[in-house]
Amino acid sequence: GQNIDQPTEMTATEGAIVQINCTYQTSGFNGLFWYQQHAGEAPTFLSYNVLDGLEEKGRFSSFLSRSKGYSYLLLKELQMKDSASYLCAVEDSNYQLIWGAGTKLIIKP
């Protein structure tokens, strides 16, 4: 079966750095997405990785290792507005997205 695993909840301090991990087992791989979802709102796109390595975009970076079935999202200089759920999704061989349950990130002052 297809499976995406990420921690249910994480807590971090304002101004700090946090890494949210995602491991996956899917039927094929055509890319990995990270989305941010604030409570009660729709998910918004953060990043897309299809090749191994680190993609940096401002305070957010995303890493992929296809051989390990592993990705992480790195958030730097945390702000209170970063409190949200972070969703990992893998595109399988049929170009359909398989979604993790999301990691709820709580930022404390």
Q: By the criterion CB under 8 A, which residues form the site for another protein?
A: 4, 8, 30-31, 33, 40-45, 48, 50, 87, 89, 91, 95-102
Per DSSP (E only), the strands in the chain are 3-5, 9-13, 18-25, 32-37, 44-49, 53-57, 60-65, 70-75, 84-91, 97-99, 103-108
State CA 108 to chain mean position distance.
Answer: 20
Of the two residues 3 and 11, which places its CB atom closer to another protein in the complex? 3
Of the two residues 49 and 78, which places its CB atom closer to another protein in the complex? 49
Dig out the tokens for 85 from the structure: 């759920």
The distance of closest approach from Cβ of residue 45 to another protein in the complex, given in angstroms and rounded to an integer, is 4
Of the two residues 62 and 78, which places its CB atom closer to another protein in the complex? 62
